[in-house]
Amino acid sequence: MAYTLINARPSPFGRKVAIVLHEKHIVFDVHYDVPWGDRTCTPEYSPLEQLPILVTDEKEVVYDSSYIVEWLEARFPEPALLPSALPARLAALKRQMLGERLMEVAQSLIFELHRPDPSAAWVDRQTRKVRGALAELERLYGLRARAADNGLDLGDIAVATTLLGIEFAVESGLSPNVTALLWRRSHAALGEAVSALEARPSFAETRPQMMDVNLQATVA
Ligand X SMILES: N[C@@H](CCC(=O)N[C@@H](CS)C(=O)NCC(=O)O)C(=O)O
Amino acid at 147: A
CB of 100 to ligand X, least distance (A): 6
Asked if residues 126 and 132 have their Cβ atoms less than 8 Å apart, the reply is no
**Cβ 40 to ligand X shortest distance, Å:** 8
Q: In terms of Cα–Cα distance, which of 199, 138, 210 is closest to 169?
A: 210
Which residue, 189 or 219, has its beta carbon nearer to ligand X? 219
Q: Which of 8, 69, 72, 197 binds ligand X (CB under 6 A)?
A: 8
CB of residue 111 vs ligand X: minimum separation in angstroms? 9
Q: How far apart are CA 58 and CA 3, in angstroms?
A: 9
Burial of 149 from C-beta contacts in 10 A (0-12 / 13-18 / 19+): exposed
Q: Answer yes or no whether residue 50 interacts with ligand X by CB under 6 A.
A: yes
Q: How many residues bind ligand X (CB under 6 A)?
A: 12
Which residues have CB under 8 Å from 163's CB, separation 6+? 99, 183, 184, 190, 194
Whether residue 68 contacts residue 16, with contact meaning beta carbons closer than 8 Å, is answered with no
Instruction: Identify which range of 43-51, 113-121, 186-194, 196-204 contacts ligand X by CB under 6 A.
Output: 43-51
Sole window of 44-52, 77-85, 139-147, 194-202 interacting with ligand X (rule: CB under 6 A): 44-52
Site track 56-95 with ligand X (rule: CB under 6 A), x = hit: --------xxx-----------------------------
Under the binding rule (CB under 6 A), the answer on residue 11 touching ligand X is yes
User: Of 18, 51, 110, 193, which lies in the binding site for ligand X, with binding defined by CB under 6 A?
Assistant: 51
**Secondary element (H or E) of residue 121:** helix 120-145
Strand 28-32 and strand 3-7: pairing? parallel
Distance CA 98, CA 103 (A): 9
If the CB atoms of residues 178 and 213 are measured against ligand X, the closer one turns out to be: 213
Contact region for ligand X (CB under 6 A) — 8-16, 118-126, 147-155, 176-184? 8-16
Report the alpha-carbon distance of residue 199 to residue 194 in Å, rounded: 9
- Does residue 49 interact with ligand X by CB under 6 A? yes
Given the rule CB under 6 A, which residues bind ligand X?
A: 8, 11, 13, 35-36, 49-52, 64-66
